[in-house]
Amino acid sequence: MSRFADLLNTLGIRRVDLGREEVTGTGVLADREFLVPNMVCEGCAEKIAGALTSMPGVRDVRSKVPQKRIRVRYEPGKVREQQLKDALSGIGFTALDA
């Protein structure tokens, strides 16, 4: 057995699921990626991150400005995907499913 497998066994980790949702102590997290065609600079990315992270249930926002994409990790029990899109629309950005 490899050292990595020994470590996983010691920690009691039997299976790692690399799906799009994960269960945490506070509930399920969803991971969604959006195309934002009118995000053109880091200032846009900061504005988007600020608007989304202020929403209850949003855990993380990552931007890829050159690809015009954002990735949002959120708790679907607290915020819906449409609310994320509406928040972006409210600050002047278009969010399309990636």
Walk along the chain (98 residues) and give the pLDDT tens digit of each residue: 577 666 666 766 665 544 444 555 556 899 999 999 999 999 999 999 999 999 999 999 999 999 999 999 999 999 999 999 999 999 999 999 98
What's residue 98's pLDDT? 82
Q: Taking a C-beta distance cutoff of 8 angstroms, is the pair 46, 91 a contact?
A: no
* Residue 29 dihedral angles phi and psi, to the nearest 5°: -110, 135
> Which pLDDT score is estimated for 17?
45
d(CA 6, CA 47) in angstroms, rounded, equals: 44
The CATH classification of domain 19-97, taken from the options 3.90.550.10, 3.40.630.30, 1.10.40.50, 3.30.70.100: 3.30.70.100
- Residue 17 structure tokens: 């699921």
Non-local (6+) Cβ contacts of 73 within 8 A are 29, 30, 31, 58, 59, 60, 61
